[in-house]
Chain A
Amino acid sequence: MSTLIEGLFNGISIGSVLLIAALGLAIVFGLMGVINLAHGELMMLGAYATFVVQNVFKPLGEPWFSFYIIAAIPVAFIVSAIFGLILERGAIRFLYGRPLETLLATWGVSLILQQFVRSVNWLLIICLGIFCLLFFGGMQLLKSRADWESMRTKIVSLLLPLAAGVAIAFYFLLSQNSALTNAWFSARNVDVTAPAWLRGGVEVLGFQMPYARLFIIALTILCLMGVYWFLQRSAWGLRIRSVTQNRTMSSCLGIPTAKVDALTFALGSGLAGIAGCAVSLLGSVGPNTGQNYIIDTFMVVVVGGVGNLLGAVIAALGIGILNYLIGSGTLALFLTTISAPQSMIDFFLFFATSSMAKVMVFALIIIFLQIKPAGLFPQKGRTAEL
Chain B
Amino acid sequence: MSQLGRRKFLLYSSTGVLASLLLKGCADAGGGDTAANTEAATTETAAADGIKVGILHSLSGTMAISETTVVDAEMMAIDEINAAGGLLGKQIIPIQEDGASDWSTFAEKAAKLIDQDKVVTVFGCWTSASRKAVLPVFESKNHMLWYPVQYEGQECSKNVFYTGAAPNQQIEPAVDWLLENKGKEFFLVGSDYVFPRTANTVIKEQLAANGGTVVGEDYLPLGDTEVTSIITKIRVALPDGGVIFNSLNGDTNVAFFKQMQGAGLSPEQYPVMSVSVAEEEVKQIGPEYLQGHYAAWNYFQTVESPQNDKFVTAFKSKYGEDRVTNDPMEAAYIMVYLWKQAVEQAGTTDLEPVRAAAVGQKFAAPEGQVTMQPNHHISKTVRIGEVREDGLFDIVWSTEGPLEPVPWNQYVKETKGFACDWTDPNKGGKYKAA
Contact = CB atoms under 8 A, between A and B. Distances in A.
A32 interface: no
A200 B259 CA distance: 9
B280 to A, nearest CB: 7
Given A164-B18, A187-B64, A292 B26 contact: no
Contacts of B131: none
A157 interface: yes
B314 interface: no
B350 interface: no
Contacts of B219: 353-355
Contact of B4 (A153, A194, A213): A153
B303 interface: no
A171 interface: yes
B235 interface: yes
A153 B8 CA distance: 7
B277 to A, nearest CB: 12
Contact of B284 (A172, A284, A330): A284
Contact of A161 (B18, B30, B223, B262): B18
Contacts of B204: none
A288 B251 contact: yes
Contact of A164 (B21, B221, B252): B21
A281 B29 contact: no
Contacts of A292: 223-225, 251
A196 to B, nearest CB: 8
Interface in A11-52: 13-14, 17
A207 B265 CA distance: 11
B233 A329 contact: yes
Which of A6, A17, A121, A201 has the most C-beta atoms of chain B within 10 angstroms of its own C-beta?
A121
Interface in A156-170: 156-157, 160-161, 164, 167-168
B285 interface: yes
A190 B284 CA distance: 5
Contacts of B18: 160-161, 164, 168
Contacts of B26: 119, 121, 123-124, 127, 171
B228 A10 contact: yes
Contact of B229 (A171, A213, A291, A354): A354
A168 B29 CA distance: 12
Contacts of B262: 199-201, 208, 210-213
Contact of A183 (B10, B31, B220, B221): B31
A254 interface: no
A103 to B, nearest CB: 20
Interface size class of A (residues with CB under 8 A): 35 or more
B243 interface: no
B68 interface: yes
Interface residues of B, number: 65
A119 B225 contact: no
Interface string A99-138: 0000000000000000100111101100110010000000
> For the complex, would chain B's binding face be called helix, strand, loop or mixed by DSSP majority?
helix
A201 B10 contact: no
Interface in B257-310: 258-259, 261-264, 280, 283-286, 288-289
A357 interface: yes
B89 interface: no
B226 A284 contact: no
Contacts of A123: 26, 29
Given A157-B10, A281-B258, A354-B221, A178 B32 contact: yes
B255 interface: yes
Given A153-B11, A168-B22, A354-B230, A124 B264 contact: no
A21 B253 CA distance: 21
Contacts of A210: 259, 261-264
A182 interface: yes
Given A121-B30, A153-B4, A171-B26, A282 B65 contact: no
Contacts of B32: 175, 178, 181
B251 A172 contact: no
B390 interface: no
Contact of B264 (A208, A282, A333): A208
Given A188-B68, A200-B261, A284 B254 contact: yes
A328 B218 CA distance: 9
Interface in B329-364: none
A305 interface: no
Contacts of B14: 157, 160-161
Interface string A254-297: 00000000000000000000000001011110101101100000
Nearest to A284: B254
B258 A194 contact: yes
B230 A203 contact: no
B194 interface: no
Contact of A330 (B62, B227, B232): B232
Contact of A175 (B29, B220, B283): B29
A323 to B, nearest CB: 8
B25 interface: yes
Which of B60, B225, B280, B283 has the most C-beta atoms of chain A within 10 angstroms of its own C-beta?
B225
A201 B263 contact: yes
Interface in B136-189: none
Contacts of A153: 4, 7-8, 11
A171 B219 CA distance: 46
B288 A199 contact: yes
A127 B29 CA distance: 12
Contact of B19 (A164, A172, A329, A358): A164
Nearest to A116: B23
A284 B255 contact: yes
Interface in B195-226: 218-221, 223-226
B27 interface: yes
Contacts of A194: 258
A266 B65 CA distance: 31
A328 B232 contact: yes
10 closest residue pairs by CB, A with B: A210-B262, A283-B225, A328-B229, A284-B254, A119-B30, A208-B264, A124-B26, A181-B29, A327-B229, A283-B255
Interface of B: 4, 7-8, 10-11, 14-15, 18-19, 21-23, 25-27, 29-34, 59-60, 62, 64-65, 68-69, 192, 218-221, 223-230, 232-233, 235-236, 250-255, 258-259, 261-264, 280, 283-286, 288-289, 320
Given A127-B25, A183-B30, A282-B255, 4 more contacts: A124-B23, A186-B30, A189-B251, A284-B284
8 contacts: A153-B11, A186-B30, A208-B264, A284-B255, A289-B251, A292-B224, A330-B232, A354-B224
